[in-house]
Structure 1
Amino acid sequence: MSENIDTAELGEKIVNVLKTIYDPEIPVDIYELGLIYDVFVNEDNDVKILMTLTTPNCPVAETLPLEVEEKVKSLDEVKGAEVEITFDPPWTQELMSEEAKLELGML
């Protein structure tokens, strides 16, 4: 019998994975930086992540979305993962969590 996991619990696991991925130029994870706009999980445990980058010409524009996709796919419960990059709305420092601002000395 396969393990049933609800989408909220899986969402938490995905967020925990996202918190292990760091922007190489800023010592804060991409979740706390506010780069993750949304995480969608359907009933088949397919995941879609809507995220942005700090700038459109970010040096990791090619590699960071792939890293996010691969790490999320590594969760046993996830059947598939897709990352969509958007710049609407553009990322600003206001999207950072209090934790990220504190880490960067902005508070």
Structure 2
Amino acid sequence: MSEAATAKVGGERLREAVVEALQCVYDPEIPINIYALGLIYELDVNDEGFVDVVMTLTSPSCPVAGQMPGMVKSAVEQVAGVRAAEVELTWDPPWSSDRVSEAGKLQLGLI
């Protein structure tokens, strides 16, 4: 396997580990993880271990709006191989239940 192919495999594993970490962070008002809720809009994991996350919340009036990005950053930075993470909170586009994964919809009883 070439060095580039090996790096790609390693990068995919790191991305999977980051997704697993995100699945351990829960919305305080809805008992579903933020990944299944569709709150993660963008996830960029590079081969050097730097992670950029663009996320939203279910509502701008979320009681943990000020703390959630820090919680996400902390969870991501606990992943072996992650050197640093940046988390950006956005409200555009606004979150809707259309973004909830099939597993999340099952948990919510929407399907």
Gaps of at least 5 residues in structure 2 are 1-6
Quick one: distance in 2 between partners of 1:100 and 1:41? Answer: 24
Identity %: 46
User: Distance in 2 between the 1:6 and 1:89 partners?
Assistant: 32
Q: Which protein has the bigger helix share?
A: 2
**Greater than 4 Å deviation, 4+ residue runs:** none
Deviations 1:17-69 (A, max 9, x none): 00011101101000000000111122321111011000112111011110110
CA–CA distance in 2 between the matches of 1:68 and 1:26? 16
Give TM-score, length-normalised by structure 2: 0.88
Q: Paired residue for 1:95?
A: 99
Aligned length: 104
Aligned ranges for residues 58-97 of structure 1 at < 5 Å? 58-97=62-101
Secondary structure of 1:6 counterpart? helix
User: 2 CA distance for matches of 1:90 and 1:71?
Assistant: 24
* 1:97 partner amino acid: S
Displacement, 1:99? 1.1
Question: What amino acid sits opposite 1:41 in the alignment?
Answer: V
**Cα RMSD (Å):** 1.3
Letter in 2 for 1:104: L
Q: Residue type of the partner of 1:18?
A: L
Cα distance in 1 for partners of 2:33, 2:77 equals 18
Structure 1 gaps of 5+ residues are none
What TM-score do you get using the length of structure 1 for normalisation? 0.91
Give the counterpart of 1:32 among 32, 36, 53. 36
